[in-house]
Amino acid sequence: MQQDLFLNSQENLLPFQGEVRFYPHFFEDTQADELMRSFQESLAWRQEPIRIFGREIMQPRLTALYGEAGMPYGYSGIQMTPLPWTPELMAVKTKIEEFTQLRFTHVLCNYYRNGQDSMGWHRDNEQVLGQNPSIASVTFGAPRKFQLRHYTQKSIKRDVLLSHGSLLMMQGESQHFWEHQLPKSSKILGPRINLTFRKLIR
């Protein structure tokens, strides 16, 4: 199928032990602008605490979880109950599913209010994601640097600028062998919305 060819023709950003592919113009600019505005206003953004080394701290960003009823999702000591899909989130999910020929059950939404909001080094390797999860990550708004580094050889790093309307696919063994982060930026940046589509297994 044409789309499979296109999907795999994009170069792998990782040198080994996983696959990460970047599609800078997944959405047309006008569509990306509209989705940014709509998600900014309509999603149920909240600042939630997480537990790190037994201490509760507020996450340096806002989040919201949408997905299938009765399938909660948790990370870093918090458990989130999904809200039902909105038409816009469902439309984005369908577009990604048609492009990738994969299926997703949930979307974790992240809202970075400015350059001071961030996400630290982590792997998306919760058991409910299964062995080699495929994660589809789309970006709207301010472009931000996204970093990958090998989990045991931490000097091996890759950077990619996640731009407005882009799609990043993380697949294969990437969540075993690579961690990723969205560092703070000292630039004066507007808001950025990131949607990470995931498939939870029952």
Among 65, 182, 189, 200, binds ligand AKG (CB under 6 A): 182
Judged by beta carbon distances under 5 to 8 A according to partner kind, the member of ligand AKG, Fe ion, none in contact with residue 162 is ligand AKG
> In whole angstroms, what is the distance from residue 184 CA to residue 9 CA?
31
Task: Point out which residues pair with 157 in neighbouring strands.
Answer: 149
Instruction: Tell me the CB-side half-sphere exposure of residue 21, using CA atoms within 13 A.
Output: 18
Residues 108-137 contacting Fe ion, CB under 5 A: 124
Size of the site for ligand AKG (CB under 6 A): 11
Interface with ligand AKG includes 110 (CB under 6 A)? yes
Judged by beta carbon distances under 5 to 8 A according to partner kind, the member of Fe ion, ligand AKG, none in contact with residue 200 is none
Give the shortest CB-2-to-ligand AKG separation in angstroms.
Answer: 28
Judged by beta carbon distances under 5 to 8 A according to partner kind, the member of ligand AKG, Fe ion, none in contact with residue 110 is ligand AKG
- Output the CA–CA distances (angstroms, integers) from residue 189 to 84, 109, 135, 143, 184, in the order listed: 31, 19, 26, 8, 10
Q: Which is nearer to Fe ion, 89 or 108 (CB)?
A: 108
Interface with ligand AKG includes 198 (CB under 6 A)? no
Give the shortest CB-113-to-ligand AKG separation in angstroms.
Answer: 13
Chain length of the chain: 202
Interface residues with ligand AKG (CB under 6 A)?
108, 110, 119, 124, 137, 146, 162, 180, 182, 194, 196
Please give the residue ranges that form the binding site for Fe ion (CB under 5 A): 124
